[in-house]
Amino acid sequence: MASHRKSRTPGTRVAGIRTPALATAALTSVALLSQTADAAPGDDRPSLEEVEKKVGDLYRQAESATEKYNAAKEKTTKQRKRVDTLLDDVAQRTQKLNEARAELGSYAAAQYRTGAGMPDTATFLLAETPQDVFDQRQVLDRMTGRQKAAVDDYVTQQTETMKKRQEATESLRTLTETQGDLKTAKATVQKKLADARELLSKLTAEEKARLAAIEKRKQEEAARKAAELARQQAAQEQAREEAAQQSGGTSESSGSGSTGSADTPPADSSYAAKAEKAIAFARAQIGKPYVWGATGPGSYDCSGLTQAAWKAAGVSLPRTTYDQVNAGTTVPVSQAQPGDLVFFYDDVTHVGIYIGNGMMIHAPKPGTYVREESIYYDGDSAIHSIVRPA
């Protein structure tokens, strides 16, 4: 299972990482913008604000369970391959053990035929463990060189076969555990999505229309903040170029509309070239459905999309958001450049690929499609961190 980051104090900002409070600004704005009347006395039906918040929470919980599912699936796949390899090895070693046993048996049969009494080699065939063999050293002293060699081979094959059988048994036990984790995560995702669908199904046509209006206002606010970030980045880039001209130097612009600092230099042309390929791939996926646990080519979940996009650029990313967030250098939001990964929420359960001007391409949630959207789609406090993966 992928491990979560430790919780931070809400509102803390460290090296470009902004940890959101439990209630995001987006949800606060929803409460302010909604014109829903108070529920009538005796009506225990939840308000539109409560439904919107609950559905959002369920989708995020589903995404969290999806990342756990992805981690368990990856672990299960690797463990199954290991088990198959070990079982093949056990089969091969068992064959060699049988061949060694047959050779040892031929010496025992020969001793019987010559009337030599209790054959020395037969003693080893009766031994159940390699230790039983080693405990009979006096017998080894009476054997010929060829007999000793046969015993040595038999003991070696017996020891290795037992070792591999034990490893296979332990691996099978681990595989059973990971399959259990996979089943649990899958059931959790399905339950959260079913609960969200049930809540939405109870809304009236009017409530659904008002909910859509709230979502539209959120998107407009997110677009405004994206434009503000784009202006800020452009101003920083211009200031850096002017400073370089005044000092007689040259300014290497990455063409991203963002600037570097003493702590975080701008990405070089090599990164920009890779990022361009990753973004081109991501853009070609726009319109494909979000499907939890999917890695393409017909559908994706959030981390499946970013992994596939950077793979197209020749960069291998881990499967889950929990691991992807550690697969690069963290930079401030103001210095985000195209290709960077944008992570969301305190438990790091969502990710998109930055394309510049405050925008990203991501696979949002079940029932939606891969799309281009502001990185502030759920409020600026929802942004966890920006990571440059290559």
Which residues carry out catalysis?
302, 350, 362
Distance CA 215, CA 218 (A): 5
Q: Are strands 341-344 and 329-331 parallel, antiparallel or unpaired?
A: unpaired
Q: Where are the beta strands (DSSP E) in the chain?
A: 13-14, 17-18, 329-331, 341-344, 350-356, 359-362, 371-374, 383-388
Amino acid (1-letter code) at residue 373: E
3-state secondary structure 165-201: HHHHHHHHHHHHHHHHHHHHHHHHHHHHHHHHHHHHH
What are phi and psi for residue 34, nearest 5 degrees?
A: -70, 140
Burial environment of residue 45 by CB neighbours within 10 A (0 to 12, 13 to 18, 19 or more): exposed
Distance CA 143, CA 120 (A): 7
Question: Which residues lie across from 354 on neighbouring strands?
Answer: 360
Long-range contacts for 224-227 (Cβ within 8 Å, ≥24 apart)? 225/358, 225/374, 225/376, 225/380, 226/357, 226/358, 226/359, 226/374, 226/375, 226/376, 227/357, 227/358
Q: Is-contact 294 352, C-beta < 8 A?
A: no
Amino acid (1-letter code) at residue 274: K
Question: Which residues lie across from 300 on neighbouring strands?
Answer: 290, 295
- Which secondary-structure segment (H or E) carries 309? helix 302-312
